[in-house]
Amino acid sequence: MNIGFIGLGLMGRPMALNLRKAGFAVGVWARREASLAPVVAAGAVARGSIAEVAAAADVVFSCVPDAPQVAEVAQAVADGARPGLVFADMSTIAPAAARDIAAQLKARGVSMLDAPVSGGEVGAIAGTLTIMVGGDQAAFDTALPAFQAMGKSVTRVGESGAGQVAKACNQIATGVGVAAVAEALNFAQMSGVDPARVREALLGGFANSRILDNHGQRMIDRNFTPGFKAWMHQKDLRIVMEEAHRHGLALPAAAATAQLFNALIGAGMGEDDSVAMLKLFEVMCGAAA
């Protein structure tokens, strides 16, 4: 199977590298030579345009910031697509946008999968991402071996848009979880108790979670180097709240967390990892960040 990959950023580059490690022929295109270089060094073939990537591929993956970029890539893919091409977008966008782009591509003979991921840069590098997929079963079956080279958990959730709904649910749970852990550890610190010992105690009870384990340790270590940038979680929660408004749903915990991420970005910490939520609570409590 010949693979195309568009979007060689923080997440996309290691994902493309894992496809090469698994032995897939990979064609790539990027605006910046610096983005292309490590993937080409691993044996990928640089193409002159997105359409050229599509023309040589059976499945084209994309991993770009938001829906406008996905739509732009999708149309360029369709311009070069051979019959039966599968376009699998691994970005996080609104479910409605994914369905709309899929309908446009279907009219041009291209099957689209919306396949957002969870696991951050660490999971992308290790090939252990959780991949949530919406779209046609036959297209999913075609792309599955490539998905398995990038993730340890690959689930077809349902039809077009279902993958993005699952990712929105993931971002509610993880966003609220990050805020809760940051709030708890800050409370411990402000109470004069060692937050590291508090975390150790909580890991033995019902409060235990991967967020308390992984993100909590990063907060204690004050490791704010981005694996998943705060502005990206803000964007994802914006999608969640827009969908909630569209459906008339009350999401009070997600809404409060979205406001905290707005404040985090407003405080100039958007390029930090989302665990910088701890620094926001420190600032709110009058402590030094």
Q: Which residues are tagged catalytic? A: 167
Q: What is the DSSP letter of 273?
A: B
Cα→Cα distances 58→28, 29, 228, Å: 13, 16, 30
Cα→Cα distances 289→152, 257, 263, 278, Å: 36, 19, 14, 9
Strand partners, 86: 59, 111
Answer yes or no: are the C-beta atoms of 8 and 35 closer than 8 Å. yes
> In sequence order, which ranges of the chain are alpha helices (DSSP H)?
12-21, 33-41, 50-55, 67-80, 95-106, 120-126, 137-150, 162-190, 195-202, 210, 216-221, 230-247, 252-266, 277-284
